Amino acid sequence: NLWNAPDAEKSIGTSTIGSSEACMLGGLAFKRRWQQARRAAGKDTSSPNIVMSSAVQVCWEKFCNYFDVEPRYVPISEEHKTLDGHDLANYVDENTIGVVAIMGVTYTGMYEPVAEIAAALDEIQKDTGLDIPIHVDGASGAMIAPFLQPDLVWDFRLERVHSISTSGHKYGLVYPGLGWVVWREARWLPEDLVFKVSYLGGEMPTFALNFSRPGAQVLLQYYMFLRLGFEGYRAVQQESQDVAEYLAQGIARLDAFELWNDGSDIPVFAWRLKEGHTKNWTLYDLQDRLRMKGWLVPAYPMPADLEQITVQRIVVRNGLSM
Ligand SMILES: *Cc1c(COP(=O)(O)O)cnc(C)c1O
C-alpha cells in the first residue's frame, strides 16, 4: 500500500539484508522472466543486458558480474543529471531484461524521473514491440517519497514498474541490515525462483541469496511502523528534509560553493567547488578538515563521463537536528 500496488493482496515480496540483496533479487526475477519468454519463443538467451544510469550504486555492478548480465550504462551529463529516458532507445534491445530507475541517486540524492523513463519505454514498445520492465532501486527514496512527495508518480501506479526495493536501514529508520523487495504482482516473480522448504515445519517459501538471517531488524521495522505510523514517519522525514534544505541553502550562500542539488528529493545533497575559486585547497582538503572534527562529509568524483567533477555530499538522517 505504501508503494500503491493496485491490489496489495496480489503483490509479493521478501525481506533481505539490505538493498544490495533486494536489487539482486529484482534483477534475478527480470533475468528469469526474460529467459522464459525467449525460450518459449525459441530465441537465444546467451546475452542478457540491463540498462541503467552510470551513477548506479555498486550493487548493480555486482549483480551484473555475479549473474552474467551485461551492464549498459547511460552516462549522466550536465544536461541530463540523471537517467531520464533521453536516448534510451539506443541502449535497449531484445536482450534487455529491464531498466533500473533510482529513487535517490547515491552520488547526489536526486530522484530519477521514473514516469518519464516509463513513458520513453512506452514509446519504444510502440516502435519495436519490446515490453521492458522497470525495477525501482528506492534504497533511500522508497522510504521518503511516500511521506514527503505523495503526488510524485514513481511507484506501482506505473504499470511498467514490476518491482521496488529499499533499505530498511536507511530512511526505514532501522539499524543495519534490512532491505525489502516487493513485486507489483506475484506473476512478475517467476515461481521457479522460489524454494519451498519443509524441514522447519509447515511449508516455508524462500527467495533470498542466503538462508538464515537475524530477525531483529524485521521486528524493529514492524515496531517502527506501528509506533510511528504514517504520520510519525512523515514528521521524521520532514524534519530531516528541513535540516538538509537549511544546510544546502547555507552552503549555497558561501562564495566557494555551487550546489549540484538542494536536498528537496531525499534529504541528501551535493555541491562542488566553484570553478576558479581557489588553487589552494580542494573538497578533499575540506573533507579531511571536517573529519578531524568528527564529521564524515565525503568528497568524491562523479561517475564515468563526469569524473572530472568532484562533489561533496551531506546525508541528513534522523538525529541530525537543526
Ligand atoms: C545504499 C544503496 C544501495 C545498497 O544498499 P545496501 O542496503 O547498503 O545494500 C543500493 N542502491 C542505492 C541507490 C543505494 O543508495
Q: What is the DSSP string of 24-43?
A: HHHHHHHHHHHHHHHHHTT-
- Is the shortest distance between the CB of 137 and ligand 1 below 6 Å? yes
| C-alpha torsion 151→119→21→304, nearest 10 | -110
Distance 106 CA to ligand 1 centre (A): 8
Q: How far is CA 253 from the centre of its chain?
A: 30
pLDDT exceeds cutoff 90 at 204: no
Which of 101, 122, 124 is closest to 113 using CA atoms?
101
Among 16, 82, 106, residue to substitute to test ligand 1 (most atoms within 8 Å of Cβ): 106
Question: Is the pTM of the predicted complex or chain greater than 0.95?
Answer: yes
Distance 30 CA to ligand 1 centre (A): 19
20-34 mean pLDDT? 98
- Confidence (pLDDT) at 43: 98
- Is the shortest distance between the CB of 139 and ligand 1 below 6 Å? yes
Ligand 1 atom 5: the closest Cα is on which residue?
A: 19
What ligand 1 atom has the least distance to the C-alpha of 20?
Answer: 9
Per-chain mean pLDDT for the chain: 97
Which of 104, 233, 210, 119 is closest to 166 using CA atoms?
104
- Is the shortest distance between the CB of 57 and ligand 1 below 6 Å? yes
pLDDT exceeds cutoff 90 at 264: yes
Q: For residue 173, name the pLDDT band (cuts at 50, 70, 90).
A: very high
Q: For residue 309, name the pLDDT band (cuts at 50, 70, 90).
A: very high
- Is the shortest distance between the CB of 27 and ligand 1 below 6 Å? no
Distance 200 CA to ligand 1 centre (A): 31
237-252 mean pLDDT? 98
